[in-house]
A and B are shown apart, each in its own frame.
Chain A
Amino acid sequence: MVEMANLGKGERHMNRTLWTCGSVLAMSIVLIGMPGCSKKSVQSGGDSQSTQGAAKGGTDSSKSGVGNFPDTGVQSGGGGLRGLDKNPSEERLGSGTTQGKMDSSSSAGRQMEEIRAEQAASAAAGLRDVFFSYDSWVISEEGRQSLSHDAEWMKSNPNALIKVEGHCDERGTVAYNFVLGEKRAKAARNYLVELGVAANRLSVVSYGKERPSCNEHAESCYQQNRRGRILIKSGK
């Protein structure tokens, strides 16, 4: 498909001005038409959104861990359609499915193996997982017993770092299950801290419903997946 070349700065500014004009139009329902907007000169780089209203959490422009963003604004309309023509000339279509090589350079591929190694070590140490009710991150009586057992092991193995994985069953949304999984992992971690395990030995990670240990649509299976998995952490 036809890719537009990057527009120059001036044109981008113009787009932004038009956008602002659109918002003003939307607000004021007084539809006088476009000429009023086109008279406006190009605005400065500051945007109205970040300067108006109360910034509740404040801004932090020095936060590390932010990568680079390309310009992703919409640069063209019409989608390259040329309209019907009484004497149509030939349009040659390029393969829309060409692509660069797939990125498989990530070290993530080794993760499954390393997870299996962590699980084996944790099983050998006799660590017990904690299971949760539907929609819940409350630690049950049975869960407290499992965690008490785990805490004893942790106290007698003071050099071991511990990771709590939060998992969910397949019900509910992908997104909210990440939050639910984190709540479960943190509930388990907090209880271990209450039992006297040093907080700096404990980390949490949520997998939501993306790594189920069981794939059937049945409560017995869902129960297995609503889990706080207690693992001896290896590596970073």
Chain B
Amino acid sequence: MTRVKLISAWFGGLLLIAAAVGILESGAADVFLEATRPDFQKISLGVAEIENAGGPNWLAGRIEEILKNDVRRSLVFDLVDLPGLGIQTSGIRNGKGAGSKAVFKQAAEKGVSVLVWGTVGMKEAGEQADVSMEGFVYDSGSDEVVGGKRYAGSPSVVRQMAHRFADELVFRYTGEPGIARTKIAYVAQQGTARELFVMDYDGYDTRQLTADGFLDLMPQWSPDRRFLIFTAYRNRNTQDIDMIELATGKRWTVISFGGLNITPTLSPDGNFLAFASSYEGNSEIYRLDTRTKAIQRLTVNPSGDLSPSWSPNGRELVFVSDRGGGPQLFLMSSDGSNVRRLTFEGDYNAAPVWSPRGNWIAYVCRTHREYKLCIISPDGQKRTQLTTGPGVDDSPSWSPDGRHLAFSSTADGKSQIYMIDADGKGKERLTFQGTHNSAPSWSPAW
């Protein structure tokens, strides 16, 4: 297991390879690989009560709600309804003694693999309140309390406590870091301007990053999660590509070529920037070496080329070109060689994003004049439409575990941000404020 953990840490996106290597070296990698398969059997998990250990009434319920939602969205666990199964959990308390033994026995008999419970309290500490939370985990397979976590912090980090505990659960059972602490960057309308914002992956704890009063658009995360790279208008006549550091708010321009400067995206190792610019005439894709600043033009034709997205190993790019008329997806090697068309169905396919595991490319497909989400395998053999109904769906962005997509949609009227499972189920709306929220970009894993 240690070996597998190390390998996955080194390779980040190359999870499949890590799992493949691991499977030859360690039987423990089975779990790791299984979790990536569509027929993966979810682990049944019940969240018993979070006990109020002194504090406002809402606190324990809040933690329990966040934790349950995180567990459900992990898609690793099957969240079971303990009271519904007739399991009374009030005897658990500290996980020791006869009361808890009885609860564990009940859970095991009903096929619940994992039981989670905890306590949370808040006390005044000088001027600032202090929250402390404990969470514990019982595993019916090994019939023992396998461990727990204790967190403390200000009331502003209550959500983070629950998210962090949820990620520990995912980590425990899959070796992956989980997505409960990930964030989504996006664009929101502010008066006549469009500015960059970041929120937690579940739509909470929104914070504004830019206040230009004009247009900041299409943010993408750096692989190390410290920066966003995006398209900005320096003034009403000039479009640039800028970067902003999240921790400091420091911002600067990285590409100012004139013409269109759109769809920037850093390679998984951070060493290259791929983007589209029309400074030489029409929109073409360029690759910039971020250390030497040598720039290489990857596409050469009189049509529009844009929206590059890196394969997880950085060796290939999927992109959009309208060289055949309407926009279609194409693949090429990261040096611009070996170009081949990927999509043939429909007359409008755009905004491709390569999944973190490499096995799918999500994109916007037009069917019956509606713009919906589709996924296609990189060999073009498998294709599925994920969303249906009216409205424009746009800007798909993969969660780092490859199990979800964030996207924008006008299905409910104004453009808002949603998430959906990679199999098209579990659609969930994330933004409710404002008149326009768009261009979500899901952060790498925390």
Contact = CB atoms under 8 A, between A and B. Distances in A.
Interface stretch (A52-60, A123-131, A148-156): A52-60
Given A72-B222, A100-B248, A176-B327, A34 B7 contact: yes
Given A61-B293, A100-B248, A84 B149 contact: yes
Contacts of B236: 111, 114-115, 205
Contacts of A19: 11, 269, 314
A217 to B, nearest CB: 7
Interface string A196-219: 000000010111001100010100
A65 B266 CA distance: 18
Contacts of A41: none
Interface in A155-188: 163, 170-176, 178-179, 182-183
A205 B253 CA distance: 19
A81 B152 CA distance: 15
A96 B254 contact: no
Contacts of B268: 74
Given A66-B255, A99-B249, A103-B251, A55 B336 contact: yes
B224 A172 contact: no
Given A61-B293, A203-B237, A236-B235, A50 B249 contact: no
A84 B214 contact: no
Interface in B131-176: 132, 134, 137, 145-154, 156-157, 160-161, 164, 167-168, 171-172
B24 A174 contact: no
A78 B157 contact: no
Contact of A77 (B10, B178, B250): B10
Nearest to B194: A210
Given A66-B288, A108-B234, A179-B304, A90 B297 contact: no
A25 interface: yes
Nearest to B438: A174
Contacts of B207: 97, 99
B337 interface: yes
B296 A50 contact: yes
Contact of B149 (A88, A109, A172, A174): A88
A95 interface: yes
Contact of B335 (A53, A72, A75, A91): A53
A44 interface: no
Contact of B350 (A103, A104, A175): A175
A94 B157 contact: yes
Interface residues of A, number: 98
A163 B217 contact: no
Nearest to B131: A93
A189 B361 CA distance: 37
The size class of the interface chain B forms with chain A is 35 or more
A32 to B, nearest CB: 9
Interface string B409-432: 010010100000000000000000
A67 to B, nearest CB: 4
A191 to B, nearest CB: 17
Given A114-B236, A175-B218, A53 B260 contact: no
B254 to A, nearest CB: 4
A31 B21 CA distance: 6
B337 to A, nearest CB: 4
B212 A173 contact: no
Nearest to A179: B304
B193 A112 contact: yes
A56 B298 contact: yes
A96 B260 contact: no
B239 interface: yes
A10 interface: no
Task: From A47, A96, A176, A217, name the one whose CB has the most chain B CB atoms within 10 angstroms.
Answer: A176
A89 interface: yes
A178 B239 CA distance: 11
Contacts of A66: 254-255, 288, 293, 295
Nearest to A16: B269
A74 B152 contact: no
A143 B212 CA distance: 34
Contact of A84 (B147, B394, B445): B147
A73 B160 contact: no
Interface string B216-236: 011000111011000011111
B337 A22 contact: no
A68 B252 contact: yes
A8 interface: no
B115 interface: no
Contact of A173 (B7, B160, B226, B351): B351
Interface in B295-345: 295-300, 304, 306-307, 313-315, 320, 322, 326-327, 333-338
Given A23-B315, A69-B291, A93 B157 contact: yes
A49 interface: yes
B71 interface: no
B355 interface: no
B247 interface: yes
Interface stretch (B43-51, B54-62, B83-91, B270-278): B270-278
B356 interface: no
Contacts of B152: 90-93
12 contacts: A33-B25, A57-B296, A59-B295, A67-B252, A95-B153, A95-B157, A100-B250, A102-B209, A175-B306, A176-B322, A178-B306, A179-B283
Given A18-B11, A96-B205, A183-B304, 6 more contacts: A57-B300, A67-B243, A79-B178, A99-B247, A104-B212, A176-B327
Interface of B: 5, 7-12, 14, 17, 20-21, 24-25, 132, 134, 137, 145-154, 156-157, 160-161, 164, 167-168, 171-172, 177-178, 181, 192-194, 205, 207-215, 217-218, 222-224, 226-227, 232-239, 243-260, 262-263, 266, 268-273, 276, 278, 282-284, 286, 288-300, 304, 306-307, 313-315, 320, 322, 326-327, 333-338, 348, 350-351, 364, 369, 371, 392, 394-395, 410, 413, 415, 435, 438-439, 444-446
The 5 A-B residue pairs with the shortest CB-CB distance, nearest first, are A77-B9, A57-B297, A109-B213, A84-B147, A100-B249
